[in-house]
Amino acid sequence: MKSHSPQIVLAAALAASPTLGLAQSLEEVIVTAQKREQSMQDVPVAVTAYDSISLEQAGIQTIADLERSTPNTTLRPSRATNTTLTAYIRGIGQNDPLWGFEPGVGLYIDDVYFARPQGAMLDVYDVERIEVLRGPQGSLYGKNTIGGAIKYVTRRMSGEAELGLKATVGSYSQTDIVATGQLPIVSDVLYIGASVASFNRDGFGTNAFTDTENYNKDIQAARLSVEYSPGDDWFIRLAGDITQDDSNNRTGSRLVPSLQTGTPAATDVFDSNGGAGAEQEVENSGVNLTIEWDVNESLSIKSISAYREGETNGFIDFDGTPVNTFDTPVHYADHQFTQEIQFNYSSDRLTLVGGVYYLDGTASGEFDVIAGAALGEPAVVPSASRTPTFNAATVGSADTESSAAYLHASWSISDALNVTLGGRYTRDEKSASVYKARLFTVGSVQNGASSTFGGTDLAVLGLQSDFSEGDTWNQFTPKVGVDYKLNDDTLLYASYAEGFKSGGINMRADVSASPAGFSHVFEPEEAQSYELGIKTELWDNRVRINAAAFHTDYESVQVTTTVLVGTNFVPAVNTDNEQSIDGLEFELTAQLSDSLSALFNFGYIDAQWDRFVTAGVDLASNTTISNVPETAGMFALNYAGDLGGRGRFVLNGSVSFTDDIAVEVNTPNQLIDADSYTLINIDAVWYSANEQWTVGLHAKNLGDEEYRVAGYNFPNFLGDDSILGFYGDPRTVSLSVGYTF
């Protein structure tokens, strides 16, 4: 046995296991974190990877479920929606899904960048693997990966005729159906494949006023692909996908009684009494063409062309009462074209990954802020007889044109020592238009809205904004790293990396109340990260340990605030902010015996404001950081059994813990802040002897823990305390049956 002195304590603990000597080796994990295939243990990057088998055995339904098993990662639905993603990695992300903002964690589907958070809460089906890269990925992946990146990789075709069906039933009338298939058109040359999925579930609660389900699920999705391999050196894939989410908009539960209506705080966290209505539609679709050419043994070239578009129609009830104290109908739309040309070169000592990238996208939308409709006024009342409503209507769009060139080089100085140098130059050009006015309206949509949403504009009470602005930013994001193979099984690495998140234009701007010369353009965020890591395998690759420590200087943090200008409260985006983020990450996988394995992960973050300036006052010492638990972790045991001619089974049990979280940037100890919680999950999967049948039983949140994941916090707003919470799933049990022909 080799000596591994950094792991002496862990080695002593595992050596006490009487079954360890019987264990088989862990399987190698292949990732593309550096845009080329490598063993995860050879990549000097903090990355957690999940293949299709591990996702199935853990009962992973959406990418949000990966939060439990990925250190220092927060993935959650964004408050009033099912499929808008709020993502934070290592304390960096974006909590505001409005079209003027960019995400802080990059999401990629088959290497295609998913620019907007609407529709980004992906269901997991027909997937080959998912990789979560932590820390700034600016040199290889570019802007908006300042916190990290998530790579969702769909399954490539095997070349054989296949058909798979999977049906799931469960709590709250869950009914999911997934069908996948592929067919060779020309043997070993041309294939066609498709996946169709339907995910349905009743609500966890009800809206007492509208008598509709709250927290239900109604999603239809499909993928179609054609793969063409005219020879060993070429691979061409044309793929399209579409997702339609018709789930009800989620209405939060009040944490305090309403001062205006007397509506009490909710007794069930999934119930509501909001008057906004339930209708919501989110559609997201795209098509992409990937061409790969292996020029020779050393050089390959890849082209990725893609177009995506999305549209959202919904309604947000910020007050959670039948009265329109603070209600907002919304419409978002976006489309993007991206083109990347990438090359990979490798020789005995040098590996190069480089390319050029282009994005042309538009994100637009409209929303009203409705205040003053009569209590309980039904939606069917003719607009002419409706109660006039105070309304703040906002319409705008943002156009982005981004181009970049990047090069990432790894040079082997010796068999053990490697040096990495990388850099990406990005030019980001953004322009936007904003129209905002105070209106007197008679509405025909959910008790009052402007003409944009089907109502009638009676009068313009005041024009707040009608402008077009823009800016261009040029950014260079380098990476420098060194890694050293202590022996065949242990990699030590140190790196410095930078990332940035695009700037933008404040879509909530009020020009009429702003002082002369006040800019509504806000600057990009920047991060400089230092990381030390170790990746090692012990006892003939039966124990795998990956750990990292990091420090990040996080600058120009974009925070939406309300600034008092004279007697007016003006929405502004404050970037005069800086954070220091220190953290630790630890991941352990141990094959204790041929049948029993253990997994453990732990994340720790110490995030502090160094500077947080509002109206000229530095409030850093008394301001929270949102969506960042100080500690979180998970422990799981996995047991695999052989039933001989009756097949085999896998049992998995896990316990995860998440520390207290501040839901938003604010002063400490807000009522909306989320308490710590612990979740217990148990999963059992049976595979038939011929591998055609699969049966899975999944029990989630066995303790039926109530845990808040998001909220709205508007105390003393328009005569009421609008403080609402949104919650993670209660206890659920599901049974799935799959068959492959």
Query: Torsions phi, psi of 629, nearest 5?
Result: -70, 145
pLDDT band at 630 (very low <50, low <70, confident <90, very high): very high
**Residue 662 corresponds to which tokens in the numbers above?**
């501040």
pLDDT tens figures, 490-511? 999 999 999 999 999 999 999 8
pLDDT at 21 over 70: no
As a whole number of angstroms, the distance between CA 223 and CA 110 comes to 12
Q: Which of 110-124, 366-380, 404-418 has the lowest mean pLDDT?
A: 366-380
Instruction: Assess contact for 504 and 361: CB atoms under 8 A.
Output: no
Which contiguous run of DSSP H or E holds residue 12? helix 8-15
As a whole number of angstroms, the distance between CA 202 and CA 170 comes to 10
pLDDT tens figures, 54-90? 999 999 999 999 999 999 999 999 988 888 999 999 9
Q: CB neighbours of 35 closer than 8 A, spacing ≥ 6?
A: 140, 342, 344, 353, 408
Q: What percent of the chain has pLDDT over 90?
A: 77
The CATH superfamily label for domain 5-740 reads TonB-dependent receptor, beta-barrel domain (2.40.170.20)
- pLDDT at 442 (0 to 100): 81
pLDDT tens figures, 393-431? 999 999 999 999 999 999 999 999 999 999 999 999 999
- pLDDT at 679 (0 to 100): 98
- pLDDT at 4 (0 to 100): 37
The runs of H, that is alpha helices, within 108-228 are 138-141
- pLDDT at 388 (0 to 100): 65
Q: What is the DSSP letter of 259?
A: T
Which contiguous run of DSSP H or E holds residue 615? none
Amino acid, single-letter form, for residue 125: Y
Look at strands 596-614 and 577-591 and give their pairing.
antiparallel
- pLDDT at 445 (0 to 100): 64
- pLDDT at 567 (0 to 100): 59
Q: Which of 326-335, 567-576, 607-616 has the lowest mean pLDDT?
A: 567-576
The DSSP secondary structure of 704-723, one letter per residue, reads ----EEEEEEEEEETTEEEE
**Residue 18 corresponds to which tokens in the numbers above?**
């009487």
As a whole number of angstroms, the distance between CA 121 and CA 70 comes to 16
pLDDT at 379 over 50: no
Nearest to 346 by CA among 277, 382, 406, 298: 298
β partners of residue 370:
327, 391
As a whole number of angstroms, the distance between CA 523 and CA 504 comes to 7
- 592 SS3 class: coil
**Residue 213 corresponds to which tokens in the numbers above?**
């389900």
- pLDDT at 76 (0 to 100): 93
Angle at 356 between CA 353 and CA 359, to 5 degrees: 135
Look at strands 148-154 and 105-109 and give their pairing.
parallel
Number of DSSP helices (H) and strands (E) in the chain, helices first: 3, 42
pLDDT at 512 over 90: no
- pLDDT at 245 (0 to 100): 96
- Matching residue, tokens 């599901």: 734
For residue 159, the Cα-to-chain-centroid distance in whole angstroms is: 32
As a whole number of angstroms, the distance between CA 727 and CA 579 comes to 28
As a whole number of angstroms, the distance between CA 195 and CA 182 comes to 9
pLDDT at 384 over 60: no
Cα dist from 571 to 37, 505, 510, 560, 655, whole Å: 46, 12, 7, 7, 42
pLDDT at 700 over 50: yes
- pLDDT at 24 (0 to 100): 83
As a whole number of angstroms, the distance between CA 628 and CA 707 comes to 15
Q: How confident is the model over 694-723, as a mean pLDDT?
A: 93
Which contiguous run of DSSP H or E holds residue 233? none
pLDDT tens figures, 663-676? 989 999 999 999 99
Which has more confidence, 520 or 244? 244
Instruction: Assess contact for 370 and 449: CB atoms under 8 A.
Output: yes
- pLDDT at 446 (0 to 100): 59
Q: What is the mean pLDDT of the chain?
A: 91
pLDDT at 615 over 80: no
Nearest to 90 by CA among 505, 528, 465: 528
pLDDT at 381 over 70: no
β partners of residue 738:
166, 694
Amino acid, single-letter form, for residue 333: A
pLDDT at 7 over 90: no
- pLDDT at 662 (0 to 100): 94
As a whole number of angstroms, the distance between CA 509 and CA 520 comes to 7
Helix, strand, coil percent content, the chain, rounded in steps of 5: 5, 60, 35
Instruction: Assess contact for 338 and 357: CB atoms under 8 A.
Output: yes
**Residue 710 corresponds to which tokens in the numbers above?**
């998001």
- pLDDT at 572 (0 to 100): 85
- 22 SS3 class: helix
pLDDT tens figures, 340-357? 999 999 999 999 999 999
Query: Torsions phi, psi of 452, nearest 5?
Result: -60, -35
Q: Number of C-alpha atoms within 13 angstroms, CB side, residue 116? A: 32
Query: Torsions phi, psi of 109, nearest 5?
Result: -110, 110
Taking only Cα atoms into account, the Rg of the chain, rounded to an integer number of angstroms, comes to 26
Q: How confident is the model over 610-636, as a mean pLDDT?
A: 93
pLDDT band at 383 (very low <50, low <70, confident <90, very high): very low
pLDDT at 235 over 50: yes
Q: How confident is the model over 448-461, as a mean pLDDT?
A: 86
Buried b (16+ CB within 10 A) or exposed e, 578-608: bbebebbbbbbbbbbbebbbbbbbbbbbebe
pLDDT band at 17 (very low <50, low <70, confident <90, very high): very low
The structural domains of the chain, with segments of one domain joined by +, span 5-740
- pLDDT at 380 (0 to 100): 37
Angle at 618 between CA 613 and CA 622, to 5 degrees: 110
Instruction: Assess contact for 583 and 603: CB atoms under 8 A.
Output: yes
Q: What's this model's pTM, rounded to 2 decimal places?
A: 0.93
pLDDT band at 149 (very low <50, low <70, confident <90, very high): very high
pLDDT tens figures, 164-179? 999 999 999 999 999 9
As a whole number of angstroms, the distance between CA 561 and CA 257 comes to 25
pLDDT tens figures, 553-607? 999 999 988 776 665 667 889 899 999 999 999 999 999 999 999 999 999 999 9
CA dihedral for 57, 60, 63, 67, sign (positive or negative) = negative
Buried b (16+ CB within 10 A) or exposed e, 95-131: bbbbbbbbbbbbbbbbbbbbbbbbbbbbbbbbbebbb
